[in-house]
A and B are shown apart, each in its own frame.
Chain A
Amino acid sequence: MTQVRYGMVIDLRKCIGCHTCSVACKRENAVPLGVWRSWVKQIEKGRYPYVRKSFLPLLCNNCENPICVTVCPVRASYQRKDGIVLVDPHRCIGCRYCMAVCPYDARYINPRVNVVEKCYWCFHLVDQGMKPACVDACPPQARIFGDLNDPNQEVGRLLATSPVQVIKPEMGTYPKVFYIEADLDALRPERKD
């Protein structure tokens, strides 16, 4: 039996940009006003009649090689055996170094308790055999969560049979959120010139 390694596939052929994942996450994790663990970036491109709206649901990639864990001065950020990256709220001193170095802007400081928080794929639900709240709530089932090492799960089947990509592979963080049919213009920041 191989080690469990969680990962997520987001199938953008199915995503309708409804923000249900953002809302479900807020509700499940009591995320305060003004900050988000999971959100959907939306871009509009082209000129009528050749136009398209592209969506990019964003959340913590729970990277295989997380830079936030490397730089945390108090080891408040750590990686579990199944790959999920967590922040210990009792140990975090709120120095924000992890926020500054995260290539995915996945972290925020909780204004109520002044410690850093982020998406951890609802490990409290996953440990009970359930799915993360965003995966459960997604109406077109565009988010698929599971064990990357298990070839019989849907996440493994999709990874094996679809062209997938991750955000900023050049960072060497080895993200574990894989996108099917992501739009290049949504993947990179807007250029104003």
Chain B
Amino acid sequence: MDISVFYNVFSQESFGALIAIYFYLTGLSAGSFVLSTLAYVFGMERFKPIGKIGVILAAFFLVMAPLALLFHVGQPFKAWHLFVHLNATSPITWGSFLLTLYPINCVIYGWFMFKGNKKMTRIFGTIGVPLAVFVHGYTGFILALGKARALWNTALMPFLFLVSAMVSGIALMILISIVKDRFFSKEKTINRDLVFSLGNLLAAMILIDLFLVLSDVLVLLVSHSEAQDVARLILQGKFGILFIGVENVMGKIIPALILLIPRLRNLTTVTISSVLVVVGIFFMRYVVVLGGEFLPLL
């Protein structure tokens, strides 16, 4: 039957690109922090060179991330309300404390690391790991509690966010350690061992991420009508190129193939695949946030 909407009022954009950028930055921060603890908390000595870079990156991104939030909210000077009028059922309330505690812990952890105090580094690193998981996991809950939007309202969302945080964090760490060794170290030689073991870790994380995305989309395709609509939107609609092409093929499948096939793997291709992953994960945040709120609800 022919049906056409003759008159309707459409909603304003609620989250938009700034929130996508915010999620991306917290993801990079959490990923970098977990990597920096691999050596200093979990005792994996081969990852020692990235410990200090990791904590600097984690603190830096976590200072930048709330700036995106302040630009996004309508009344940034009322941000102190978040610490006074608490609502235990709102993920944003959890986040206002996580976003305060986590960078403070980062700075203390980094300070002891640079001082060479192994015991205190270990203690604050151990405190930091769950904080890093929650500081990014809670952003997944922000979206998962948005029950109006089929793309967001899934219990997979916090996991998807955590895994993609690790993916983007590892890729950025590969890039930074290559640049640092190549241009700023005394020997000007790249630590190949480190780069390739990070590459293996990256490949494993990408495979988990692909599995989560696959299960998410498969369930959306057979779920209720709005879920089917949003699945079509990200597979073949306005976000099709970004979701399939940029996020998954360019940002996950091609880098995973490069990292897993020994003949393709060398320093140049690992660098290229890390760049692809860092860009791809940004578009993952973009598609989730803007694609999720794209379809009209009524």
Binding site for B on A (CB under 8 A): 35-36, 39-47, 53, 56, 58, 67, 70-76, 91-97, 99-105, 108-109, 113-116, 167, 170-172, 185, 187-191, 193
B145 in contact with A42 (CB, 8 Å) = no
Question: Which residues on the B side are within 8 Å of A75 (C-beta)?
Answer: 85-87
How many cross-chain pairs have Cβ atoms below 8 Å apart between A and B? 156
Can you show 12 pairs from A to B with CB atoms below 8 A apart? A35-B12, A41-B5, A42-B7, A67-B145, A71-B91, A76-B85, A97-B90, A103-B148, A105-B11, A171-B147, A185-B3, A189-B226
- Partner among B73, B91, B148, B296 whose Cβ is within 8 Å of the Cβ of A94: B73
Q: How far is the CA of A190 from the CA of B78 in the complex (A)?
A: 38
In this assembly, does B275 line the interface, its C-beta being within 8 Å of a C-beta of chain A? no
Q: Which residues of A contact B14 (CB under 8 A)?
A: 96-97, 99-100
Q: A63: shortest Cβ distance to chain B, in Å?
A: 12
Given contacts A43-B5, A43-B6, A93-B82, are A71 and B298 in contact (CB under 8 A)? no
Contact in complex: B9, A43 (CB < 8 Å):
no
Please, which residue of chain A has its CB at the minimum distance from the CB of B78?
A93
User: Which B residues are in CB contact (< 8 Å) with A170?
Assistant: 224
Tell me whether B142 and A97 are in contact (CB under 8 A): yes
Besides the contacts A36-B9, A46-B2, A94-B78, what 20 more A-B pairs have beta carbons closer than 8 Å?
A: A35-B12, A41-B298, A42-B5, A43-B5, A53-B6, A70-B89, A71-B90, A73-B95, A96-B73, A97-B92, A97-B142, A101-B148, A103-B147, A103-B148, A104-B297, A105-B10, A105-B11, A108-B11, A171-B148, A172-B147
Interface size on B, residues (CB 8 A): 51
Q: Is B293 an interface residue (CB 8 A)?
A: yes
A93–B73 touching, CB < 8 Å? yes
Report yes or no: B295 in contact with A189, Cβ–Cβ below 8 A: yes
Residue B72 at the chain A interface, CB threshold 8 Å: yes
Q: Is B216 an interface residue (CB 8 A)?
A: no
Closest to A77 in B: B87
> A74 touching B82 by the CB < 8 A rule?
yes
Q: Which 5 A-B pairs have the closest CB atoms?
A: A94-B74, A114-B74, A73-B92, A100-B14, A103-B148
